[in-house]
Every structure is written in C-alpha cells, then in structure tokens.
C-alpha cells in the first residue's frame, strides 16, 4: 500500500445518523446497500446530498476495524475484529473513545481561544463513550463528482494528447483516510462528514476513532505498558482498509492519509514508524 500524506485540512460537518430496517430503492439503486468484507456483510445507507451537482453517497458507519480493547486487551496493541454472521447494520455511528471535557474552565485558562472555542462543539459529539470504540466510517460516492471531466482547455494543453477522464468509472477509486485531532486527548472521526468530499472528488473517504488520553498513550517505560496504542490503532485501521476497501470499490494501492492538529502529527509519526514499514504500509510524504 502506498500512503500519501496531506497536512491540516478539513471542514467539520456532522450528519444525523439513524438506523433503518426497511429496504427501498432510489433511482433504481439500493438505499441500503450490502457489502461483503473479510469479516462479514455490512449494510450501509445511500444518502442524497442537498446539492444538484453532487451525487448520492453510500455511508457505512460504525464498522469495526479491531476487537474491543477491553479487559485483557486494555493497554495492548489492537487485534483484528471477530467475524460475524448475517448482515451487520452500519447505518449509525458507534461510541467514541473515552475522553474528559467537563473541566473546560481550566482548559480556557491554559489554552488559546482558537482551540477552546471548538470544545463546546466537540462535547456534543462525545456523549456516547465506551472503551469499545475502535470503529471507522466509510463514505463511498455512487456517481462521478462535479470535477469528473477535464476542461477543454486542459485537454488541449497537456500531456501530449494522452488525456482521459480522470474519474474512470471502471477503475478503483482512490481512498482518503482522515485522522482527527484533539491533542491526543479528545475528538472522534464521527465529527467529520466525508460525504461532500467523497462525492465532489469521486474518492472514498474514511474517518476513524482511536484510543485517546491514558488509554491510548500511557507508557510506563517498560513491558507493562509500552504506550502509543492510539498510533497502533491507526495502523490497524490502515491494515483493515488495505484488506477490505476493494469491496467498496476502493484502490488499496492509492490511499492518502491526512489530518488536522494532532491528527496531522500522527500522519508524520506513521511515516516514521517501523510498524508501517514492516506491514506493507510504507509511507511517502507528498
């Protein structure tokens, strides 16, 4: 897998997540598409966007990429998820990783205004917390985005007449994986709605949760707790994507990881990690 990194970027938007049980059609396509992963089948939700230019997006929310890091797995590297039978609903967000934001008055005194101004927004998304939190969300475009075709000027002015549709419907789509920020203490991938980026760019967008605070980064300096479990969670998520994104129409060889704040720092750390190099996750900074 080739990973390209991009720095701080993304607009925070949040969709309403609901669970549905019926099956209907939108323009002849399944509103609740089912995808088969290496661990079992999942049912997503086909969501139209409030824009005439942008096509609908399939959302697969709360997809497990690792086993729950609870009990004996606490303070341990993540393990692959268990398989399941039947079809698993992936139409609403999973719980977020444990975090503590109640003492915001203290944070207001310690941190700059541009940071603390976002805390009230973050709080609304982290009410449902659980140590069983290693899940990701996948946004898949169903139609070519607004920039599917090159303009006539581009076609006549570059690459020696070898121009072609930059979004070939028959090809696998590139994948963008967003790592959220939050000073390694708070945040969730659930806050980021990848639908518009997926539809506009004709790319598959993935957001994820990873362990935070003590549960994610405590180190005792010995074998008891080596630390950096949050980073290992991210590597496990990338492994899951490499193994399964093809089922969603994605190209596992064209994966870009990017983030904001601490998430951008994680991207840099992942490019240096020997775990990445040893598992076909060798990174290339762009």
Question: Which domains, and CATH codes, for the chain?
Answer: 3-10+30-285 (3.40.50.1820)
pLDDT given at position 108: 65
CB under 8 Å to 64, separation ≥6 — which residues? 39, 81, 94, 134, 135
pLDDT band for position 139 (cuts 50, 70, 90): very high
What span, in angstroms and rounded, lies between the C-alpha atoms of 223 and 181?
28
Weakest mean pLDDT among 6-20, 22-36, 221-235: 6-20
Look at residues 282, 255, 52, 6 and name the one whose alpha carbon lies nearest to residue 136: 255
pLDDT higher at 30 or 249: 249
Q: Which helix (H) or strand (E) holds 91?
A: none
Q: At residue 147, does pLDDT exceed 70? A: no
Residue 132: exposed, middle, or buried by beta-carbon count in 10 A (0-12, 13-18, 19+)? Answer: middle
What span, in angstroms and rounded, lies between the C-alpha atoms of 286 and 284?
6
pLDDT of 92-138, one tens digit each? 999 999 998 766 665 666 666 766 666 677 777 888 899 999 999 99
For residues 126 and 99, the answer to whether their CB atoms sit within 8 Å is yes
**How far is residue 229 from each of residues 90, 236, 238, 267, 283, measured CA to CA in Å?**
25, 10, 14, 15, 19
pLDDT given at position 22: 35
Q: At residue 146, does pLDDT exceed 60? A: no
* Predicted structure pTM score: 0.79
Q: At residue 161, does pLDDT exceed 70? A: no
Average pLDDT over residues 201-221: 95
Average pLDDT over residues 179-184: 92
Pairing of strands 57-64, 87-89: unpaired
CB pairs under 8 A, 24+ apart, for 83-89? 83/39, 83/40, 84/39, 84/40, 85/40, 86/40, 86/41, 87/34, 87/40, 87/41, 87/42, 87/43, 88/40, 88/41, 88/42, 88/43, 89/19, 89/42, 89/43
């Amino acid at each position: 897998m080739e990973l390209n990194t991009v720095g701080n970027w993304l607009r925070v938007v949040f969709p309403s997540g609901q669970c549905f049980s019926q099956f209907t059609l939108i323009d002849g396509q399944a509103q609740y598409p089912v995808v088969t992963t290496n661990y079992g089948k999942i049912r997503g939700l086909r969501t139209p966007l409030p824009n005439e230019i942008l096509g609908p997006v399939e959302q697969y929310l709360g997809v497990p990429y690792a086993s729950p890091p609870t009990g004996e797995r606490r303070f341990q590297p993540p393990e692959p998820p268990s398989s399941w039978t039947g079809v698993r609903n992936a139409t609403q967000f999973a719980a977020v990783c444990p975090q503590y934001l109640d003492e915001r008055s203290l944070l207001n005194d310690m941190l700059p205004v541009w940071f603390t101004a976002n805390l009230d927004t973050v709080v609304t998304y982290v009410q449902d917390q659980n140590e069983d939190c290693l899940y990701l969300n996948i946004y898949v475009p169903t139609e070519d985005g607004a920039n599917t075709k090159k303009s006539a000027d581009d076609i006549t002015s570059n690459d020696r007449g070898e121009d072609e549709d930059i979004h070939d419907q028959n090809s696998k789509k590139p994948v963008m994986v967003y790592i959220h920020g939050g000073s390694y203490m708070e945040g969730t991938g659930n806050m980021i709605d990848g639908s518009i980026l997926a539809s506009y760019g004709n790319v598959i967008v993935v957001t994820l949760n990873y362990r935070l605070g003590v549960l994610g980064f405590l180190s005792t300096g010995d074998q008891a707790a080596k630390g950096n479990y949050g980073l290992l969670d991210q590597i496990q998520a990338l492994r899951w994507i490499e193994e399964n994104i093809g089922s969603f129409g994605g190209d596992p060889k064209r994966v870009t990881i990017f983030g904001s704040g601490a998430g951008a720092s994680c991207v840099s750390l992942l490019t240096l990690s020997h775990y990445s190099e040893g598992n076909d996750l060798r990174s290339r900074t762009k």
